[in-house]
Amino acid sequence: MDMTLDDFEAEVSEQFDRLPEEVVGGLDNVVFVVEDRPEDGAMDLLGTYEGHDRFGRADYGYGQLPDVIAIFRDPILAICENVEQLRHQIHVTLVHEIGHYYGLSDAQLHDLGWA
């Protein structure tokens, strides 16, 4: 599947807006970015969470940089054949990475169906 960066970012934004309040309501000092691929160019990584989970961090102080959730466009597009699959995969990837923000491990996310 092929899609421009602008269109992909719009899909990510739309899927984020559709997430329930109980998923996004507790987010604090987190920025979401779309990148083509991870730094190493891997095609098997769909997203990452960089930061300290919500319960493992100290209080943020003045000037504290935000945590970052990155969604990787090329790997997601490579595994999707149509827009419906794309939307589903973006949704799952967002929930998965937000889960890490809340301190959930990959095993816990897998048990919940988000890994």
What was the pLDDT predicted at 55? Answer: 73
Q: What is the mean pLDDT of the chain?
A: 91
pLDDT digits over 61-101, tens only? 566 788 999 999 999 999 999 999 999 999 999 999 999 99
Q: Which amino acid is at 107?
A: A
Q: Is the confidence at residue 60, as pLDDT, over 80?
A: no
- Is the domain defined by 5-56+65-111 classed in CATH 3.40.640.10? no
Q: What percent of the chain has pLDDT over 70?
A: 91
Q: Confidence class of residue 29 from pLDDT cuts 50, 70 and 90? A: confident
Number of residues that make up the chain: 115
pTM of the model: 0.90
Domain boundaries, the chain: 5-56+65-111
Distance between CA atoms of residues 80 and 93, nearest Å: 13
Q: Cα-flanking dihedrals φ and ψ of residue 51, to 5°? A: 155, -165
DSSP of 25-36: TT--SEEEEEES
